[in-house]
Amino acid sequence: MKILVVDDEQLVRWFLERALTRLGHSVKAVSSGAEAITTLDGGGFDLMLTDLRMPGENGSTLISKVGEIPEQKRPRIIVCSAYITSEIAEDYKNGGIGVLRKPFKLEELENAISAVSGIA
């Protein structure tokens, strides 16, 4: 699976890139929503993991912009954040978006990917 990781924290990007690569995925990591949109314009991503709180274009804005991508080219999305309330999590899940609360374990990451990919 080709995965785009979007997080402003370098350590989080590094961890996710290494963990996902070890799980057999092709990974590209970027530090902002604006950079993610530019990267997604190239197409070919199956999944995007994004933080919610980032300087500039935050994760919510990024998710809205991804929603404008034609469905056949749109990656599935997992929100990966420490700032997810139960209400927000429920809204995202109802919209087909995965939720992963930081901090998380590798097994939880794998489960979130399986859930949004329909591999459960």
pLDDT tens digits along 9-54: 999 999 999 999 999 999 999 999 999 999 998 778 999 999 988 8
Q: Residue 77: phi, psi to the nearest 5? A: -130, 140
* 80 SS3 class: strand
Task: Confirm whether pTM is higher than 0.75.
Answer: yes
What mean pLDDT do residues 55-71 have?
84
pLDDT at 17: 96
The domain containing residue 21 runs over which residues? 2-117
Rounded percentage of the chain residues whose pLDDT exceeds 90: 56
Indicate which CATH number applies to the domain containing 18: 3.40.50.2300
Q: Which of 30, 24, 19 is nearest to 1 (CA)?
A: 24
**CA–CA separation, 15 vs 75, rounded Å?**
21
The count of domains in the chain is: 1
Are 82 and 37 in contact, with CB atoms under 8 Å apart? Answer: no
pLDDT at 35: 93
CA-CA-CA-CA torsion for 26, 31, 33, 39, nearest 10 degrees? Answer: -40
